[in-house]
Amino acid sequence: MTPRIAISLYRVAQKFPPSLAEYRSHQARGRILPEGATERERRSWDALSAWDTEAGARQVAETFRSAKWIVRFDIPESAAGVHWEQSPPEGHYDLRGDMEELARYLAPDFRVGA
């Protein structure tokens, strides 16, 4: 039986499939939180950024020269180690938790050029 999908979220990727390095938040990459960061920036620093539509991810891809692909994650209801939370702006989500588990939810049949 195929698990029911709780949510599908889109991310920008440099490779397909994304490398393990692409599953690290700003915090996990050792980046310093900018001085004067907003509350939203502080809240999202330890999360991966994702979008509820391909179009949302495409807007972000246009700002990153390294963006090659837009990929989709189909996260099932049974996902215990991956958590998502809506955060500003509209259509944006923060992803947290077990990134190896998240990698298993990469939709193998979906990738579009960024």
Chain segment 33-77, per-residue pLDDT in tens? 999 999 888 889 999 999 999 999 999 999 988 899 999 999 999
Mean pLDDT of 76-80: 93
**From CA 40, how far away is CA 82, in angstroms rounded?**
20
pTM for the model: 0.91
Rg (CA), the chain: 14
- Supply φ then ψ for residue 58, to 5 degrees: -65, -40
What gap in Å lies between CA 66 and CA 60, rounded to an integer? 11
Q: For domain 5-30+37-113, which architecture applies?
A: Alpha-Beta Barrel (3.20)
Instruction: Please tell me whether residue 93 adopts helix, strand or coil conformation.
Output: strand
Rounded to whole angstroms, the Cα distance separating 23 from 99 reads: 6
What average pLDDT does the segment 81-102 reach? 95
